[in-house]
Amino acid sequence: MQQGSGEAVGSGAADPIDLRSLTALRQCCVSGSVSAAARALGWSHPTVDHHLAKLERRFGAPLLERSPRGSRATELGALVSERAEEILGLCDRLTAEVRDAQSAASPVVRFAALPTVGARILPPLQRALRRMPDAPRLDVTVDELLPIVTDLEQGRIDIAIVVATGRIPPIANPRIRLERLSSEPLHLCVASDHPLAVASPRKAPSFEQLRDAEWALGVDEHDPSDAGLKEIFAAAGLKPKVGMRLDDYRAIQRLVGAGLVVALVPQSALDPDASMHAWALPKALLRRDLLLAVRLPDRGRPRAAEPAQSRRLRALEVVIGEIRAAAVTM
């Protein structure tokens, strides 16, 4: 009697087809025996037998012919194995597409900035990204200049805002693209009761007048933030005397106010409550440039990685565009 389309094929026909059972059958057909399939899958022999039996109950017929020399598919088993190949392939494709879709929805961009810069640019940057559907997510690092440069060069950061005060850029690496976002004046800072502040509160003294002063410089003697000061002193055949080395502008300004050192402080970091006198230097003489540093993507990616790479590049461009917009208001 011919079965209707809704009738069961076997006693277990009401049960859903188990993907592990399809995997077991396919591997048996590929490997040529249940033992070989178990080794290939990393399963036990009884586990493979269990899933094969479950599938045979589902279809109500044997799917393998077993012999001492191995196993081969029955006619029905060959059909099921062929369809299993398609079904399992679709499952793999679905998993990959879901993973890609999730990655596309929220790619991560690794961003770094100095504390003084990050405090000003991160709020508008994050607000802009939150307004966007499917915006990139930021993995933010706030650190000093030299660790940021190292992380950029070693590929642990994608985008950063770095600074320069001299003619030599802080990064000379063909893998890093630099773009000037903005410039700000540097302020020459001394204690409020410093003789030069008392004698000439409006006009900044020359650096030659400060040849004997002790300066607050960066922790690393090669810190690019100090490059402009060193260039000016070198042009006069001098070197600035180091009073202290530290990277915290708040601490530097307290030390300046106490009369222990003099310092150059960028406008964005000036503390209005510090007990010091500050002269804004002409930008033509000395300035602090804010530079956008972008690590260029790796070349030679395999074709399979091209969609993910394209999404990553788009995410980088979105973040770069919003950083440029935020820098305009700084």
Interatomic CA distance for residues 51 and 5, integer angstroms: 26
Helix intervals (H) in 106-244: 115-130, 145-153, 195-199, 227-235
Q: Is 143 helix (H, G, I), strand (E, B) or coil?
A: coil
- Which residue matches tokens 């804004």? 280
Interatomic CA distance for residues 271 and 301, integer angstroms: 48
* pLDDT at residue 257, as a whole number: 96
* pLDDT at residue 188, as a whole number: 96
Q: 102 pLDDT band (50/70/90 cuts)?
A: low
- Are 160 and 171 within 8 A, CB to CB? no
What is the DSSP pairing of strand 214-217 with strand 241-245?
parallel
Give residue-wise pLDDT tens across range 55-71: 999 999 999 998 888 88
Give residue-wise pLDDT tens across range 297-306: 766 554 545 6
Domains of the chain: 19-103 (1.10.10.10), 108-328 (3.40.190.290)
Interatomic CA distance for residues 242 and 195, integer angstroms: 20
Give residue-wise pLDDT tens across range 144-203: 888 898 888 888 899 999 989 988 888 888 889 999 999 999 999 999 999 999 999 999
Helix intervals (H) in 203-244: 227-235
133: which 2 tokens? Answer: 């559907």
* pLDDT at residue 243, as a whole number: 95
* pLDDT at residue 217, as a whole number: 94
Residue 264 predicted with pLDDT over 80:
yes
Q: Taking all residues of the chain, what is their mean pLDDT, rounded to a whole number?
A: 87
Q: 13 pLDDT band (50/70/90 cuts)?
A: low
CA-CA-CA-CA dihedral for 73, 79, 81, 87, to nearest 10: -170
